[in-house]
Amino acid sequence: MSSENSNKEKRRLSTAEVRKLPRDSAFYVLGVVSRCVRRKDKNDNPFWDMTVMDAEGQIDGKVWGSSEWQNLDGDLQYRIDPLSDERVVKLEGKTIGLQGKVVAYRDQNQYNFNTVYYVDQEKYPPHSFVRRSPVPFEAMEREFRSMVDSCGEPVRGFLDFIFFKKNVWKEFSVQPAAVALHHAYVNGLLEHSLCVARSAVAIARSYVPESDFDVGMDIDADVVLAGALLHDLGKLEAYRLSPVPEVTLEGNTAEHIVLGYHKFMKLADEYCKSDGAIDKRTVTAIGHIIVSHHGSREFGSPVLPETPEAMIVAAADDLDFKLYSWREHVSQLEGDKEMTDFVNSLQRRLWKVH
């Protein structure tokens, strides 16, 4: 790497630092490409929409037709033709360097990537730049196992069979919960599932009658917990890390709710055939949570929640998505700004109240 590039290396910023820069600031960032889509502007000139991730987050930017593409892989530095170089076509999941500038577009910050550097993938392995859950994995694993152990039979034995005897845990514990909107990082599915389970159990307990004058409800807390931990089971097949989160063919063609219900029923059938003692009614109640957890057909659920347990998990799932979105968007506010721009996924702006 030339002395010029070594100096750039010393000034390297994280994506979180770049997001805090004022307009007209220059930056250099190193990260893994999670999205790279070639488009055309109004004059029919090519440009690229690009998202780059590192351990602290991600930034979305534009690589315009006037930008430079440089090779820094190996001893020779030379210009790359993005329209013919095969590496550009297969850029997602690769580590790159970006020299850019923060500009204004429609009164919002936009990141223009003026130079793209293809770097040595062994020296800068892509997996080392992939974002992970901010929650320590060991703490999440302890909480997850404690939740399973807190259930009574037959649910405890059923969950133990699915996650540990069938080794679903190995994949479940590292998988992302999405590719963009929420928990789109390593261990994201585990973090999200724990949050949903924690909230769902608290809601269920709040409806347990505390006195003779409190009507309450007959809610099966074990079914609530099992449904919360299993509601996104289909994301094991809908997403993959390569090393960045991306949607699989099955995820695009069948979606995670359908995939999850199919996988759950297959595991339930296998458990029953291995002399696992769980009744069909309990299996159906948990399965119903999986197929209804998005709360409405508009958001992808084949059926609406029809039980208190399913209503509770759907509400907890929706709440965790909204609270995660609030945290992510307000963390990117600059200076003393208190209100975010309009967030399409939530159809509202968000207030940094504290």
Please tell me the distance from the alpha carbon of residue 59 to that of residue 131, in angstroms, as a whole number. 12
Strand 239-241 to strand 57-63: parallel, antiparallel, or no bridges (unpaired)? unpaired
353 domain-assigned: no
For residues 103 and 51, membership in a common domain is answered with yes
Judge contact between 204 and 147, C-beta under 8 A. Answer: no
Average the pLDDT over 69-93 and give the result.
89
Higher pLDDT, 308 or 22: 308
Residues 76 and 146 occupy one common structural domain: no
Residue 10 has pLDDT above 60, yes or no: no
- Per the CB < 8 A criterion, the answer to whether 173 and 137 are in contact is yes
Residue 335 lies in a domain: no
Rounded Cα–Cα distance for residues 40 and 60 (Å): 17
The whole-number average pLDDT for the span 91-99 is: 93
Whether the Cβ atoms of residue 267 and residue 287 lie closer than 8 Å to each other: no
DSSP for 238-258 reads HEEESSSEEE-HHHHHTHHHH
Flag the least confident range among 77-86, 165-174, 230-239, 304-313.
77-86
Q: What's the whole-number mean pLDDT along residues 221-249?
A: 94
Residue 77: give its domain's CATH number: 2.40.50.140
Q: pLDDT tens digits, residue range 254-263?
A: 999 999 999 9
Both tokens of 297, joined, read 């057909």
Asked if residue 291 and residue 256 are part of one domain, the reply reads yes
Same-domain status, 36 and 97: yes
User: What values do phi and psi take at 270, rounded to 5?
Assistant: -65, -40
Q: Which of 3-12, 78-87, 197-206 has the lowest mean pLDDT?
A: 3-12
Is residue 196 within 8 Å of residue 204, measured between CB atoms? no
Question: What is residue 212's predicted lDDT score, i.e. its pLDDT?
Answer: 60
Q: Which of 129, 152, 187 is at the close of a domain? A: 129
Residue 276: is its pLDDT beyond 50?
yes
Q: State the pLDDT at residue 1.
A: 45
Q: What percent of the chain has pLDDT over 90?
A: 68
**Confidence (pLDDT) at 3:** 42
Same domain, 123 and 141: no
Specify the pTM. Answer: 0.82
Of the three residues 97, 129, 161, the one that is the final residue of a domain is: 129
Could you tell me if residue 20 is inside a domain?
A: yes
Question: Over 90: is that where the pLDDT of 353 sits?
Answer: no
**Phi and psi dihedrals of 71, rounded to 5?**
-90, 125
Q: What is the pLDDT of residue 294?
A: 95
Q: Which CATH number fits the domain that encloses residue 315?
A: 1.10.3210
Domain assignment present for residue 338? The answer is no
315 vs 109: CA distance, rounded Å? 34
Bigger pLDDT: 160 or 210? 160
pLDDT for residue 173 is more than 60: yes
Do 209 and 296 belong to one domain?
yes
Of residues 277, 295, 289, 266, the one with CA closest to residue 197:
289
* Pairing outcome for strands 68-72 and 108-119: parallel
Share of the chain above pLDDT 70, in %: 95
Helices (H) and strands (E) in the chain, counts: 13, 9
User: Cβ neighbours of residue 237 under 8 Å, at least 6 residues apart?
Assistant: 248, 250, 251, 256, 259, 263
Report whether pLDDT(329) > 60: yes
Both 169 and 118 in a single domain?
no
Mapped onto helix, strand or coil, the DSSP state of residue 94 is coil
Q: Let me know whether 98 and 146 are in one domain.
A: no
Domain identity same for 186 and 123: no
Give the pLDDT mean for 32-44.
91
pLDDT in tens, 184-195: 899 999 999 999
Instruction: Note whether residue 112 is domain-resident.
Output: yes
- Domain hosting 209: range is 137-330
> For residue 22, is the peptide bond before it cis, meaning its omega torsion is within 30 degrees of 0?
no
pLDDT at 284 over 90: yes
Give the model's pLDDT for residue 108. Answer: 79
Average pLDDT, whole number, for the chain?
91
In a domain, 118, yes or no: yes
Residue 342 is assigned to a structural domain of this protein: no
Do residue 86 and residue 144 come from a single domain? no
As for how many domains the chain has, the answer is 2
Distance CA 138, CA 43 (A): 53
Pick from 101, 234, 134: nearest CA to 177: 234
Final residue before a domain boundary, out of 87, 102, 129 = 129
**Secondary structure class of 350 (helix, strand, coil):** coil
**170, 211: one domain:** yes
**pLDDT number for residue 215:** 63
Q: Is 113 part of any domain?
A: yes
* Token pair belonging to 172: 């479940």
Number of residues that this document lists for the chain: 354
- Give dist(CA 216, CA 220) in Å, integer: 12
Q: What is the DSSP string of 103-117?
A: EEETTEEEEEEEEEE
Whether residue 285 sits in one domain with residue 148: yes
